[in-house]
Amino acid sequence: MFLENTINPKKRKGWIEVICGSMFSGKTEELIRRLKRAKIAKQKVEIFKPEIDKRYDDVAVISHDANQIHSTPVPSSANIPLLINDEDVVGIDEAQFFDMELVAVCNQLANQGIRVIVAGLDMDYKGVPFGPIPALLATAEYVTKVHAICLSCGNLANHSHRIADNNKLVMLGETDSYEPLCRDCFVEVNRKKAKKE
Active-site annotation, residues: 94
| C-alpha 125, offset from chain centre | 15
| C-alpha 169, offset from chain centre | 16
Residue 81's Cβ-count burial label (10 Å; 0-12, 13-18, 19+) is: middle
Say how far apart CA 95 and CA 136 lie, in whole Å.
10
Q: Is 188 helix (H, G, I), strand (E, B) or coil?
A: helix
CA distances from 141 to 2, 16, 124 (A): 16, 6, 23
Task: Please say whether the beta carbons of 28 and 55 come within 8 A.
Answer: no
- Report the 10 Å Cβ neighbour count for 182: 22
CA distances from 180 to 34, 75, 123 (A): 24, 28, 12
